[in-house]
Structure 1
Amino acid sequence: MSETLAIPTLDDSAQFDAYVARPAATPRAAIIVIQEIFGVNAGIRRKCDRLAADGYLALAPDLFWRIEPGIELDPDIPDQLQRGLDLFGTFDQDMGIRDIEATIRAARAQVGGGRVGAVGYCLGGRLAYMTATRTDIDASVGYYAVAIDQLLHESHAIARPLMLHIAGEDGFVDAATQAAMHAGLDAHPKVVLHDYPGEDHGFATEMGKRRSDAAAQLADQRTADFFAEHLG
């Protein structure tokens, strides 16, 4: 069962929408699905639906609501891909984390104070890392997170489990950046990194040309096992 939930901002000055997928029975926990640069599109909604089928309450907040509420883009269409890249350039990531924090609060209320995790893709993978360093999220997963080398100085603040999936041939995350991620995070007791040699950015998308099925299934199984361990 899916619906739209209005979430108040942290200062209660406004509200934004989140797509919500509910499991058939009492949720095991809640998981926030953090969008790519393409908005809460069909692929992100399907991620939520799959998590709900696994027994989680899944919420995907519209993080671009301050720029263009409700925008949905298809990365396989060149002008829509470019629009997503433009949105990335204008998006306030610090405000995005505040909106994710507001979503964490709403999610906890929805599951009676239970555990809340987060999983993000592309921009959302970067935000999942920032969520791990800046909020009280219980567990986080990032897929092909961008520019994490710029955030390694925050790694000391990671207090709860974080998993990152790294595409070996990522067109947006070069080899030097991947090496910096390993150098900065491999020894961290709360962080685990998984590499996918030969895979490109977006390999675990639910639909479209970017999907690489075998790698996507492997990463998604690792994510499912990770959340089962740390969220229940």
Structure 2
Amino acid sequence: MTSRWIDITSSTGETFGGYLSLPPTGKGPGLVLIQEIWGVNDHIRKVADQYAADGFVVLAPDVFWRQTPRVDLNYDEPGTKQAYGLMQGLDQPAAVKDLVGAVSTLKAQPEVTGKIATVGYCMGGRLSFLTAANSPDVAAGVAYYPGAINTVMGDAAKLKAPMQFHFGGLDTHIGKDVRQAVIDELGDREETEVYIYENADHGFNCWGRPMYHQNAALLAHGRVLEFLAEHLA
């Protein structure tokens, strides 16, 4: 894989960074990968490389650039404490505008030869949904265990892209009430998929944390690839 940091122009004209990973062929459909609260850290960069190996041109934007550019945190106590502080200080409307700009920036890359999707984790899962709802260039969106997504369901009326959701059945951060809010609002859409992994907890896709659940992560990844193959064709 070939990777580098590039400049992204937000929808308000400001510039910030993003990690770009290219597939072995050098070109393909686009994927905006949206971080968890620990930044575009080693794990997120490896996930970007994983999707690049699957054939996508992947851009992982620096969501926290307005607070601490290129923050790269560990999953230990100090890193997690700083991560939660950054999440609590996030200007969500501005972040959505930044991510809409990231979609446009990715679309303009010469390596992108197809449609664009968003994939995000926890905070990034919520932002993946919001970006899909607010960018006409998003052809599909994926949200893993999207934190507090029940608080932004008002944007569902703007959503035109297909959406896929992944929840851990043991997740106490994102409980049944949050999952049910998604199902109640979007479950009747033909192009909505909701998967619940009964034996998995919050963050089950992150191999750098104790709650990593290999079986759920592999099953979810396969479903994401099938979903993207269908909607980015």
- Report if aligned partners of 2:27, 2:112 keep a CA contact under 8 Å in 1: no
- For residues 62 and 4 of structure 1, do their structure 2 counterparts lie closer, same or farther at Cα, with a shift above 3 Å needed? same
Among the aligned pairs, what percent are the same residue? 31
- Which residues of structure 2 form unaligned runs of 5+? none
- Report if aligned partners of 1:155, 1:185 keep a CA contact under 8 Å in 2: yes
Q: Indicate the residue corresponding to 1:104 in structure 2.
A: 103
Please give the per-residue CA displacement for 1:160-180, whole angstroms capped at 9, x wherever unaligned.
Answer: 111010111213112222222
- Which residues of structure 1 form unaligned runs of 5+? none
Deviation at 1:112? 5.4
- Report if aligned partners of 1:46, 1:206 keep a CA contact under 8 Å in 2: no
- Higher share of residues assigned strand: 2
Structure 1 CA distance for aligned equivalents of residues 59 and 20 of structure 2: 5
- Report if aligned partners of 2:30, 2:112 keep a CA contact under 8 Å in 1: no
TM-score by length of 1: 0.94
Deviation at 1:97? 0.9
Please give the per-residue CA displacement for 1:189-221, whole angstroms capped at 9, x wherever unaligned.
Answer: 221111111311100114332211000000011
Please give the per-residue CA displacement for 1:135-173, whole angstroms capped at 9, x wherever unaligned.
Answer: 121111000001121122221221111101011121311
Structure 2 CA distance for aligned equivalents of residues 7 and 158 of structure 1: 24
Map 1:20-99 onto structure 2 (within 5 A). 20-75=20-75, 77-99=76-98
Structure 1 CA distance for aligned equivalents of residues 178 and 19 of structure 2: 32
Deviation at 1:223? 0.4
2:137 maps to 1:144: no
- Report if aligned partners of 1:158, 1:190 keep a CA contact under 8 Å in 2: no
Structure 2 CA distance for aligned equivalents of residues 85 and 120 of structure 1: 17
Structure 2 CA distance for aligned equivalents of residues 97 and 114 of structure 1: 22
Deviation at 1:185? 1.9
Deviation at 1:2? 0.6
Q: Which residue type is aligned with residue 92 of structure 1?
A: D
SS for the counterpart of 2:143 is strand
SS for the counterpart of 2:108 is helix
Q: Indicate the residue corresponding to 1:155 in structure 2.
A: 156
Measured on the aligned residues, the alpha-carbon RMSD in Å equals 1.4
TM-score by length of 2: 0.94
